[in-house]
């Protein structure tokens, strides 16, 4: 068995209607915001899914909700300013707990909405299936998102979104499993980090209804 190279989070692979890469939307993140996985603060990274918050900001999406309210995937950072002497420096992540007071310092991320796109995502185990034929049996089914805390570098804690392949089912889940990814990085189906193509089942985009008719 050889483990496959892990790819962090959601990776855009195509649109449902065949159009080109969607234009990212700039969204703000609340001052001092810190997402948590396993009771540990984690940074926001490209590849993390986010949901809308009723104060106009976005936050790391909560997994395995029914209904799910995913909005999009972080693909970049428009404005991250972390104290002096780093004020104005460009960042590849938004450190947990980043604070700001001035409008010029507002933390901003670039988000591609999840709806209307196909995404590649690593599976979280290599026990549920160990062969290509096995993974193909899950296509057309549903599964939830899961997070695996990564503190390999304690100064850069990561949420590590993955597909919870063990709960694949025919009735409900955060994500619809479309196909096994054709990437060459799926080198060994008995190894870890097998990559699947998914789309979102339920999102926080209009016309999502939270109450009433």
Residue 137 located in a structural domain: no
Residue 162 located in a structural domain: no
Residue 195 located in a structural domain: no
Q: Which pairs count as long-range contacts for 131-134, CB under 8 Å and 24+ apart, including other chains? A: 131/189, 131/190, 132/180, 132/189, 134/189
Provide the pLDDT for residue 202: 83
Instruction: Give the Cβ contact number of residue 82 at 10 Å.
Output: 17
Buried b / exposed e across 113-140, counting CB within 10 Å, b at 16+?
bbbebbbbbbbbbbebbeeeeebeebee
Provide the pLDDT for residue 1: 76
Rounded Cα distance between 163 and 140, Å, is 14
- pLDDT tens per residue, the chain (213 residues)? 789 999 999 999 999 998 899 999 999 999 999 999 999 999 999 999 999 999 999 999 999 887 778 999 999 998 887 755 455 556 789 999 999 999 988 999 999 999 999 999 999 999 999 999 999 999 999 999 999 999 999 999 999 999 999 999 999 999 999 999 999 999 999 999 999 999 999 888 776 655 544
Contact 11, 119 (CB under 8 A): yes
pTM value is: 0.93
Q: Which of 135, 143, 140, 211 is nearest to 180 (CA)?
A: 135
Residue 177 located in a structural domain: no
Contact 78, 131 (CB under 8 A): no
Residue 172 located in a structural domain: no
Residue 118 located in a structural domain: no
Instruction: Give the Cβ contact number of residue 2 at 10 Å.
Output: 8
**Structural domain containing residue 53:** 23-113
Provide the pLDDT for residue 90: 62
Provide the pLDDT for residue 66: 78
Three-class secondary structure of residue 105 per DSSP: helix
Provide the pLDDT for residue 213: 41
Provide the pLDDT for residue 212: 44
Residue 202 located in a structural domain: no
Number of domains in the chain: 1
Residue 91 located in a structural domain: yes
Provide the pLDDT for residue 205: 79
């Amino acid at each position: 068995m050889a483990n496959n190279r892990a790819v962090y989070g959601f990776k855009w692979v195509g649109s449902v209607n065949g159009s080109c890469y969607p234009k990212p939307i700039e969204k703000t993140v609340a001052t001092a915001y810190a997402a948590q996985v396993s009771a540990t603060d984690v940074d926001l990274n490209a590849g993390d899914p986010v949901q809308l918050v009723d104060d106009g900001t976005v936050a790391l999406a909560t997994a395995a909700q029914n209904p799910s309210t995913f909005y999009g995937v972080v693909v970049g950072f428009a404005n991250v300013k972390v104290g002096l002497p780093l004020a104005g420096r460009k960042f590849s992540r938004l450190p947990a707990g980043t604070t700001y007071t001035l409008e010029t310092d507002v933390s901003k991320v670039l988000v591609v909405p999840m709806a209307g796109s196909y995404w590649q995502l690593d599976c979280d185990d290599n026990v549920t299936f160990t062969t290509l034929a096995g993974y193909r049996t899950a296509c057309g089914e549903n599964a939830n998102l899961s997070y695996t805390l990564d503190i390999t570098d304690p100064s850069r804690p990561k949420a590590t979104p993955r597909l919870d392949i063990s709960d694949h089912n025919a009735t409900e889940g955060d994500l619809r499993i479309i196909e096994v990814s054709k990437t060459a990085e799926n080198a060994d189906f008995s190894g870890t980090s097998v990559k699947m193509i998914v789309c979102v089942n339920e999102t926080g985009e209009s016309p999502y209804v939270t109450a009433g008719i």
